[in-house]
Structure 1
Amino acid sequence: MTRNRSVGWTFLVTALAAFMVALDNLVVTMALPSIRADLNATIDQLEWTVNAYTLTFAVFLLPAAVLGDRLGRRRVFVGGLGLFTLASAAAALAPNIDLLVAARALQGLGGAAVLPLSLTLLTSAVAPERRGAALGIWGASSGLAVALGPLLGGAITQGGSWQYIFWLNVPIGVALVPLAVRRLGESHGPAKRLDPIGLGLISLGLFALVLGLVRGNAHGWTSTSELVALVGGGVLVLAFVAWESRAANPMLPLRLFGSRGFSAVNTASLVMSFGMFGSIFLLAQFLQNVQGYDPLAAGLRTLPWTAMPVLVAPLAGPLSDRIGGRPLLVLGLILQGVGLGWLGLEITTDMSYGAMLLPFILSGVGMGLFFVPVASVVMGSVPAEMQGVASGANNGIRELGGVLGIAVLGAIFTARGGFTSGQAFVDGLRPAMAVGGIAVLAGAAAAVLIPRRQRTVVDPVAAPVPVAV
Structure 2
Amino acid sequence: MADISFIAASITIYTIPFAFFQLFSGALSDIYGRKQIIIFGLFTFSLASLCCAYSATIGLFLAARALQGLGNAFIAPTIMATIGDFFSYRERGRVMGGYGASTTAGIALGPLVGGFLAIIDWRLVFLLLSLFSGVLGFIYLFYFKSPKGEGELKNVLGKIKDVFTKKSFLMLCAIGFLVFFGNIAAMTFLADALKFSVTEDRIGILLSTFGFLGIVTAPVAGYLTDFIGRKKTLLIGLSITFCAFLIFLPVNSYASFFIPIAIMGIGSTTAFTSLNTMIVECTPKSRGAASSIYNSFRFLGYGLSPVATLPVYLVSGLNGIVLLLICIALMNILISTRVRRSSQNKSLSV
**TM-score with structure 1 length normalisation?**
0.58
Residue 64 of structure 1 and its aligned partner are, at CA, apart by 1.6
Matched, 1:331 2:232: no
Matched, 1:89 2:89: no
Amino acid in structure 2 at the alignment position of 1:356? F
1:72-151 equivalences under 5 Å are 72-92=33-53, 102-119=63-80, 136-137=94-95, 139-151=97-109
Matched, 1:455 2:342: yes
Deviates more, 1:74-83 or 1:298-307: 298-307
Deviates more, 1:169-178 or 1:139-148: 139-148
The alignment partner of 2:324 has SS state of helix
The alignment partner of 1:302 has SS state of helix
Amino acid in structure 1 at the alignment position of 2:342? R
Matched, 1:157 2:115: yes
Residue 82 of structure 1 and its aligned partner are, at CA, apart by 1.4
Distance 1:446 1:286, change over 3 A: closer
The alignment partner of 1:140 has SS state of helix
Is 1:305–1:361's contact at 8 Å kept on the other side of the alignment? yes
1:23-102 equivalences under 5 Å are 38-41=2-5, 46=8, 49-50=10-11, 52-92=13-53, 102=63
1:4-32 CA-to-partner distances (Å, cap 9, x unmatched) read xxxxxxxxxxxxxxxxxxxxxxxxxxxxx
Amino acid in structure 1 at the alignment position of 2:327? L
Residue 113 of structure 1 and its aligned partner are, at CA, apart by 1.3
Is 1:331–1:366's contact at 8 Å kept on the other side of the alignment? yes
Residue 307 of structure 1 and its aligned partner are, at CA, apart by 2.1
Distance 1:98 1:397, change over 3 A: farther
Is 2:33–2:148's contact at 8 Å kept on the other side of the alignment? yes
1:252-282 CA-to-partner distances (Å, cap 9, x unmatched) read 436535x2x4333322211211232355466
Q: Which residue of 2 aligns with 1:262?
A: 169
Residue 447 of structure 1 and its aligned partner are, at CA, apart by 3.1
Residue 361 of structure 1 and its aligned partner are, at CA, apart by 1.2
Distance 1:122 1:72, change over 3 A: same
Amino acid in structure 2 at the alignment position of 1:262? F
Q: Which residue of 1 aligns with 2:162?
A: 253
Aligned partners of 1:455 and 1:101: how far apart in 2? Answer: 48
Aligned pairs, how many? 342
Amino acid in structure 2 at the alignment position of 1:41? S
Distance 1:136 1:106, change over 3 A: farther
Aligned partners of 2:92 and 2:163: how far apart in 1? Answer: 32
Structure 1: unaligned runs, 5 residues or longer: 1-34, 199-248, 417-427, 463-469
Q: Which residue of 1 aligns with 2:301?
A: 401
Aligned sequence identity (%): 19
Residue 441 of structure 1 and its aligned partner are, at CA, apart by 3.4
Residue 367 of structure 1 and its aligned partner are, at CA, apart by 0.9
The alignment partner of 1:309 has SS state of helix
Is 2:80–2:276's contact at 8 Å kept on the other side of the alignment? no
Aligned partners of 1:146 and 1:377: how far apart in 2? Answer: 19
Is 1:312–1:369's contact at 8 Å kept on the other side of the alignment? yes
Amino acid in structure 1 at the alignment position of 2:178? V
Q: Which residue of 2 aligns with 1:178?
A: 138
Distance 1:94 1:440, change over 3 A: farther
1:170-206 CA-to-partner distances (Å, cap 9, x unmatched) read 221232233332223364211143478x6xxxxxxxx
Aligned partners of 2:32 and 2:286: how far apart in 1? Answer: 21
1:105-148 CA-to-partner distances (Å, cap 9, x unmatched) read 43222112123334555776x6x67x865884465144233234
Structure 2: unaligned runs, 5 residues or longer: none
- Alignment equivalent of 2:267, drawn from 346, 366, 387: 366
Distance 1:362 1:135, change over 3 A: closer
Q: Which residue of 2 aligns with 1:442?
A: 328
Residue 364 of structure 1 and its aligned partner are, at CA, apart by 1.1
Aligned partners of 1:286 and 1:50: how far apart in 2? Answer: 24
Is 2:185–2:321's contact at 8 Å kept on the other side of the alignment? no
Residue 103 of structure 1 and its aligned partner are, at CA, apart by 4.0
Aligned partners of 1:391 and 1:71: how far apart in 2? Answer: 16
Q: Which residue of 2 aligns with 1:308?
A: 213
Aligned partners of 2:163 and 2:140: how far apart in 1? Answer: 35
Residue 360 of structure 1 and its aligned partner are, at CA, apart by 1.2
The alignment partner of 1:253 has SS state of helix
Amino acid in structure 2 at the alignment position of 1:39? D
Distance 1:291 1:165, change over 3 A: farther
Aligned partners of 2:296 and 2:244: how far apart in 1? Answer: 21
Residue 305 of structure 1 and its aligned partner are, at CA, apart by 0.9
Amino acid in structure 2 at the alignment position of 1:327? L
Amino acid in structure 2 at the alignment position of 1:305? F
Residue 442 of structure 1 and its aligned partner are, at CA, apart by 1.6
Amino acid in structure 1 at the alignment position of 2:136? L
Aligned partners of 2:342 and 2:19: how far apart in 1? Answer: 26
